[in-house]
Amino acid sequence: MLAKRIIACLDVKDGQTVKGVSFENLRYAGDPVELGKAYSEQGVDELVYLDITATNEGRKQIYSLVESVAKNLSIPFTIGGGITSVEDAENLLIHGADKISVNSAAVRNPQLVSDLALKFGKQFVVVAIDAKTIDNQWIVHTHGGKRPTEKELFSWAREMEDRGAGEILFTSMDHDGHQTGFANEALARLSEMLSIPVIASGGAGEMEHFRDVFNVGKADAALAASIFHFGKIAIPDLKKYLRDNNINVRI
Q: How far apart are CA 79 and CA 56, in angstroms?
A: 16
DSSP conformation class of 249: B
8 A C-beta contact, residue 35 and residue 17: yes
Residue type, 136: N
- How many residues are present in the chain? 251
The one catalytic residue in 98, 130, 176, 212 is 130
Annotated catalytic residue: which of 11, 45, 51, 88? Answer: 11
Round to whole Å and give the CA distance between 167 and 178: 24
Q: Is residue 130 among the annotated active site residues?
A: yes
Measure Cα distances from 213 to 12, 79, 84, 151, 181 in Å.
Answer: 25, 24, 31, 24, 8
Q: How far apart are CA 70 and CA 8, in angstroms?
A: 16
Q: How far is 178 from 231, CA to CA, in rounded Å? A: 16
Strand pairing report for 5-13 and 167-172? unpaired
Phi, psi of 12 (to 5 degrees): -115, 130
- In 3D space, the residue among 78, 45, 37 whose CA is nearest the CA of residue 251 turns out to be 45
Active site (catalytic) residues: 11, 130
